[in-house]
Structure 1
Amino acid sequence: MTILLRSLRGTLYRRSLSAISSRAMSSTPLLVKPSELLELTKTGVTILDASWHMPNSPRKGKEEFLLNRIPNAQFLDLDEVATPNELGLKHMMPSARQFADACEYWGIQPSTHVVIYDSHGVFSSPRALFMFKAFGHEKSSVLDGGLPRWEAEGYPVETGPPLTTVKKTDYPEPSLDENAIRSYKQIAHNASLNPTDPISELVLDARPRGRWIGSDPEPRPGLPSGHIPYSRSLPFSTFLQTNKVPGSDATYTTFLPSAALHEKLVSAVGPDNAEKILKGERSVVTSCGSGMTAGVLWLGLRLLGTSKIGLYDESWTGYAARQSSIIDTGEK
Structure 2
Amino acid sequence: VVLYDNQGIYSAPRAWWILRSMGLEQVFVLDGGLPQWLAEGREAVSAPINSAASLGNMAGRLDRRRVRDSAFVLQHLDDERVSVIDARSRARFLAQAPEPRPGVRGGHIPNSLNLPFTEVLDGYRFKPVSELESTFKRLAPSLQPGDGHQLVFSCGSGITACIILLAAELAGYDQLSLYDGSWADWGSDDSLPVA
| SS of residue matched to 1:285 | strand
Of 114, 120, 132, 2:19 maps to 132
Q: Which residue of 2 aligns with 1:224?
A: 105
1:145 paired with 2:32, answer yes
Matches of 1:172 and 1:237, distance apart in 2: 34
Matches of 2:56 and 2:156, distance apart in 1: 35
Q: Which residue of 2 aligns with 1:181?
A: 67
1:159 Cα deviation after fit: 2.6
How many residues matched? Answer: 195
**Percent of aligned positions with the same letter in both sequences?**
35
- C-alpha distance after superposition, 1:211-236 (max 9, x if no partner): 00010111223322210000000111
| Aligned amino acid, residue 13 of structure 2 | P
| Aligned amino acid, residue 241 of structure 1 | D
Cα pair 1:284 1:308 within 8 Å, conserved? yes
1:314 paired with 2:185, answer no
Cα pair 1:127 1:295 within 8 Å, conserved? yes
1:241 paired with 2:122, answer yes
1:302 paired with 2:189, answer no
Matches of 1:279 and 1:163, distance apart in 2: 42
Mind listing any 5+ residue stretches in structure 1 that lack a counterpart? 1-113, 243-252
Cα pair 2:148 2:174 within 8 Å, conserved? no
Matches of 2:52 and 2:29, distance apart in 1: 21
Query: Which one has a larger percent helix, Structure 1 or Structure 2?
Result: 1
| SS of residue matched to 2:64 | coil
If the length of structure 1 is used for normalisation, what is the TM-score?
0.56
1:304 Cα deviation after fit: 1.6
If the length of structure 2 is used for normalisation, what is the TM-score?
0.94
Q: Which residue of 1 aligns with 2:90?
A: 209
| SS of residue matched to 1:151 | helix
1:297 Cα deviation after fit: 1.0
1:169 paired with 2:66, answer no
- C-alpha distance after superposition, 1:247-296 (max 9, x if no partner): xxxxxx10111110011112212x22x32xx1233111010000001111
Q: Does 134-143 or 165-174 show the bigger shift?
A: 165-174
Matches of 1:308 and 1:267, distance apart in 2: 19
Cα pair 1:280 1:308 within 8 Å, conserved? no
Moved over 3 A (4+): none
Of 105, 117, 125, 1:254 maps to 125
Mind listing any 5+ residue stretches in structure 2 that lack a counterpart? none
Higher RCO structure (Cα 8 Å, ≥6 apart): 2
1:169 Cα deviation after fit: 1.2
1:184 Cα deviation after fit: 1.5
